Amino acid sequence: MEVERKLVGFVLDTKYEDLPQGTLDFVKNLVLGVIGTTIAGSNEEDCKKMIGLVKEWGGRQEATILTDGHKVPAHAAAFVNSILARALDYEDGLTPGVHFTASIVPAALAAAELAGGCKGKDFLVAVLLGSELTAKLNSCSFYDGFDPTGIASVFGATAAAGRIMHLNSAEMLDALALAFNRAGGSFQCNIDGVLAVRTIQGFVSEGSLMAARLAQKGITGPPNFVEGIYGYLHLYGKDRFKPQDVTKDLGTKFELHNTLCKRYPSCGSTLSSTEGILEIIAKNDLSPEEVARVEIRLTPYGHKLVGHQFKIGNSPRVDAQFNVQYCVANAILRKSSKLIHFEESFIKDPQIKDLVQKIYVIPDPALQDPGSERGLSSDVAVTLKGGKVYHQFVKVARGMPGNPLSKDEHLEHFQDCMSYAKKPLPKRKINKIISLIDQIEKVKDIRNLISLMLVSSK
């Protein structure tokens, strides 16, 4: 279990001074983004139901339901807070769909309350190390239909929570090993457009707090959870990776910089198509009435996830977020892609239905990244009624690795969340949140962030 011990050492022994400033600043942007999506998502109908349900469960008052203020057991708080963070599908992720900060940040906040407080610098380091652990495991994975969020993120959330809770090396090893047994989830949820997409995020966070607390009580997990005969590399790496691949360049080269930070509020597999159609529209000032046919080419992986025929089921927002036909139709009709466009009234606009019928989505293996099943590029072709064709290939959309968002664009993302929130925070609170995260190293107790997120207080 050499690899497992190296991972534990990385999580527990790495200091703030060991980390690159650019990576620390990048993680600050990720934290700001997920705080924004949590506030914006908190008043969605299903989120309000989840908050009510968790309150009904009751239990010890250990950690706060974010934006609400009610205290519940730490694992329950982490569970519901992650659902709020994921509700709008507007937070960051790693290809091929690992939403990690939506679990790591809520789990870390719950752990901070459980531990009686946590300095901002320590919180930042814990989130960064947990994120990097998730990114390293993700780089050695072939999920084949498993939801990557449910598989890889539970390790990062457990690592972050465990570090904040001051687990020792034996306890951290057990916590991560126990987390291995909580890994799960299927992309069928995304394809069928059901709310389980969000609850998987919650299961990750809940499992991470439970794993850490069980380990503190001496409950053991399989120590060879990565390189064992039925360990991670066998189950989720399909035996295509060597144990040393997991720890290669650990602590010197940070995989988490491969994070996709969303410019548009929909699945990562829709972003390049959305950008492509918006570029065509902007360059040529096209109206919906001029469009005769749109052809979208995606990788086979992306096509499986978002290339199916658009239809509205019981969860219209999820249906729209995970469907490239809707995202492209919306961009044509509204010449943008905003949070409000994924509300039910916008999704059910008859003009959307008309445009969707003109959009054809085709899997194209040539768009895959070399030597990989992954890739988020797309090829967009628009044919007008007069026969003229406009074409746009998007290899790397804005916000993807290699084309990162600027700090100002991260702030725009946060402000978009604040503008969309049904119960908006006062401007002074918004500015305080921005300032706190920007200067998080100086924060004496990260629990101050929790109080700033309460929407009911003045």
Q: What is the DSSP string of 72-131?
A: E-HHHHHHHHHHHHHTTS-S-EETTTB--HHHHHHHHHHHHHHTT---HHHHHHHHHHHH
Fold of the CATH domain 268-394 = 60s Ribosomal Protein L30; Chain: A; (3.30.1330)
Residue 85 near residue 102, CB atoms below 8 Å: yes
* Per-residue b or e along 362-384, where b marks 16 or more CB atoms closer than 10 Å to that residue's CB: eebeebbeeeeeebbbbbbbbbb
**416 HSE (CA, 13 A, CB side):** 22
* Count of beta carbons in the 10 Å neighbourhood of residue 246: 22
* Range name among 241-250, 260-269, 384-393 with the lowest pLDDT average: 260-269
Q: Alpha-carbon distance 124 to 154, whole Å?
A: 18
Domain 2-263+434-452 and domain 268-394 have a common topology = no
User: Residue 372 — pLDDT band, cuts 50, 70, 90?
Assistant: low
CA 52 to chain centre: 24
3 state SS of 297:
strand
| pLDDT higher than 90, residue 428 | yes
Q: What are phi and psi of 40, to 5 degrees?
A: -65, -35
Angle in degrees, 0-180, between the axes of helices 148-164 and 2-13, rounded to the nearest 10:
50
Angle at 443 between CA 207 and CA 111, to 5 degrees: 15
| Strand positions, DSSP E, 319-415 | 359-363, 378-384, 389-394
Q: Alpha-carbon distance 308 to 242, whole Å?
A: 35
The encoded tokens of residue 183 equal: 């890994």
User: Model confidence over 82-108: pLDDT tens digits?
Assistant: 999 999 989 999 988 899 999 999 999
The residue-averaged pLDDT of 10-21 equals 98
**355 HSE (CA, 13 A, CB side):** 24
What's the pTM value of the predicted model, to 2 decimals? 0.91
Q: Alpha-carbon distance 90 to 416, whole Å?
A: 10
| pLDDT higher than 80, residue 370 | no
Q: What are phi and psi of 328, to 5 degrees?
A: -70, -45
Domain boundaries, the chain: 2-263+434-452, 268-394
User: Model confidence over 324-364: pLDDT tens digits?
Assistant: 999 999 999 999 999 999 999 999 999 999 999 999 999 99
Q: What percent of the chain has pLDDT over 70?
A: 98
Cα radius of gyration (the chain):
21
User: Model confidence over 166-189: pLDDT tens digits?
Assistant: 999 999 999 999 999 999 999 999
- Using CA atoms, how far residue 83 sits from 66, 101, 195, in Å, is 11, 12, 10
The encoded tokens of residue 130 equal: 């947990």
Which CATH number is 2-263+434-452's, of 2.60.120.260, 3.30.470.20, 3.40.50.10470, 1.10.4100.10?
1.10.4100.10
The encoded tokens of residue 437 equal: 């995260």
- Using CA atoms, how far residue 397 sits from 133, 165, 244, 375, 392, in Å, is 25, 38, 32, 11, 12
Residues with Cβ within 8 Å of 95's Cβ and at least 6 positions away in sequence, in order, are 258, 260, 268, 374, 375, 376, 401
The encoded tokens of residue 241 equal: 């990776």
Q: Alpha-carbon distance 413 to 407, whole Å?
A: 10
Give, rounded to a whole angstrom, the gap between the first and last alpha carbons of the chain: 52
Average pLDDT over the chain, rounded to an integer: 95
| pLDDT higher than 60, residue 277 | yes
Residue 50 near residue 150, CB atoms below 8 Å: no
Residue 184, classified by CB atoms within 10 Å of its CB into exposed (0-12), middle (13-18) or buried (19+), is middle
Of residues 301 and 358, which shows the higher confidence score?
Answer: 358
| pLDDT higher than 90, residue 279 | yes
Q: Alpha-carbon distance 124 to 160, whole Å?
A: 9
The encoded tokens of residue 293 equal: 């046919």
3 state SS of 394:
strand
